[in-house]
Structure 1
Amino acid sequence: MKILDDQNQTTVTGFYLLGFQAGNTLRIILFFLLLIVCFVTICGNLLIITLVSISKNLHTPMYFFISQLSISDILLTSDIVPNTLHILLNNGGSITFIGCITQYCFYCSSESFECFILTVMSYDRYVAICNPLHYNSIMTSEYCVKLAIICWLGGFSITLSDMITTSMLNFCGHNILDHFFCDLIPLLDIACSNVFIVQLDIYLISIPVVFIPTIIIVISYGKIIFTVLGISSNTGRQKAFSTCSSHLIVVSLFYWTIFGVYIFPTKGQTLNISKMMSLLYTVFTPMINPIIYSLRNKDIWKAVQETKKKMVWQ
């Protein structure tokens, strides 16, 4: 996947992903584990989307945003897992330059959208707990749809500049990526052109995508905690905390892995640890999200029971 240009220099037209360099048995175990995770992720998130669509009890802003998060999780899983399974079976695999940039684009767009939608969900919980009397007038259906559209457009548009600068990098000679998908850090490691513009672009993008949403989430939950602690009854406090506990778990898991890999990577962190961290937030987190929201939510279980009854009667 290399060609010679006019100056007889080797130019990369594709990449070879090493994946997980391990023994045959370990790769087969990991293959079936990821296959099961992929199946559970797709089914779990499709169930959430279906229930929110057909159950009137779930026609609320919170569940609408959860369904949008499920769409993002399906997109991320579909982008990463199929090629990863192929790499595990073959102990490596090739990908074209366009295919690599496309995978990276969808990955970044999905992750950026998740940052935005989790921020919107924290704002929704803030309004519900701190301003309950005006909740219905603020979080209208039209307003929620607009917020979701802004999150999707923001995720794709902000990623566009990153994709353009990354695609303009020159890769000459070395085309082996020691990763299981086309991530930015492995691409920068093998680029033979100046990567300053790409790094600057990433730092600038991280401000609206990572840091500002993090600040908004922290402020929202700070005010939520302050409001909840002011509730006199224990029952009222427990009910208020239960409405946002699932979201807080998902936010903590998502940002912990993102900050661990990209923002504050551990010094001396090995490639295998980095790959495992990446595997956690690209593959396992999309599976865990619907499980967290389902197991900790009576409304979801009630919707499941009602749907089962409707199917029986039909």
Structure 2
Amino acid sequence: MLESLLNELRAEGHLRGEISPSVPEEAGVSHWIVALQVIGGWLAAIFMLLFLGMGAAPLIKGASSWVVVGLIMTALTGLLIGRVVPSGQSGSMVLRQFLLVASLAGHGALIVGASLFGKDEEGTSFFMIAIYESVLLLWVAWMPHRLVAALVGAGALVAAVDLTFSLELARNWLGIYWLVACLLWHQEPRWQAQRYAEAVHALASALTLLCFAYALSGFFAGNFLGFHKGFRFDAALVCTVSIAFVLILARPLVNSVRNLLAVVLLVAALGVTWQAPAVGMGALALVFGFARGHRWLMWLGGALLVFGVGRYYYDLQMILLHKSALMVLGGLLLLTVRALIVGQEDRA
């Protein structure tokens, strides 16, 4: 039935690319059984890799050797994953997890090898890893592996740009990555029916996770809410991107002066927290997750928003009285926005 529906959508021009209608082999299987299979695959892979690694590590000498080992492991595991995942054979869950851990070890070997090159060659090696990971991202059609490839590739690209150009702007990659992630989530209805939609989804997820991790690490970097060198540009750019997309998402709702005022108040509140980019990022991810039906993005954005607001409050270099006044003002602002929006709905 699902196959006939897909064929009908393709015939009418609403769907392009290949989408597999097959039901996952774990459908109907207890979640506990699946969890035990995942744990079993990881334990088997970890113990085996530790056993082999302890014997093989002394034989791997030099950066080139580590890179070759990483290339062999990632290419071999990618080839095997490509054969195992579409097969739908019973019991392949353990093998898939085993191969995923082996692939992670291969990615680790690539990173170790690239970091062992000299200063002049290190940037080039990370550039090559970023290109190689983009190939894996498109080649291996399994979302967990694609997410790993996107994470490693994006991180390698940051390292390559930083090592090659050594510019302050090159280090401030967070705002650019956040802009790309927001564009991808905002344009999801356009690319979700394309052939490589799953790879784009993995890239958007990886960029979001990287941005979240970097924004959270900023809270523990010392003088974060002061004018911390090297982070101020990123914080301002992330805030600008978040405000821009809030305005884009709110554009269809601005059909009266009251709603326009509500949007302006929310944007102003977002701008006040520009030195705590996790606040705006969490709010925007929560909105994107709700609009696109991604529960994981909703929960992740909501958790980041709550954490960011809490850390922003406790890290402010103000006396307790001023902090309390800010909390009161924040509550009044939200109540005002609610009154404006609800009043518009009641009158309509």
Q: Rg: which structure is higher?
A: 2
Quick check: TM above 0.5?
no
Q: Which has the higher strand share?
A: 1
**Which TM-score applies when normalising by structure 2?**
0.26
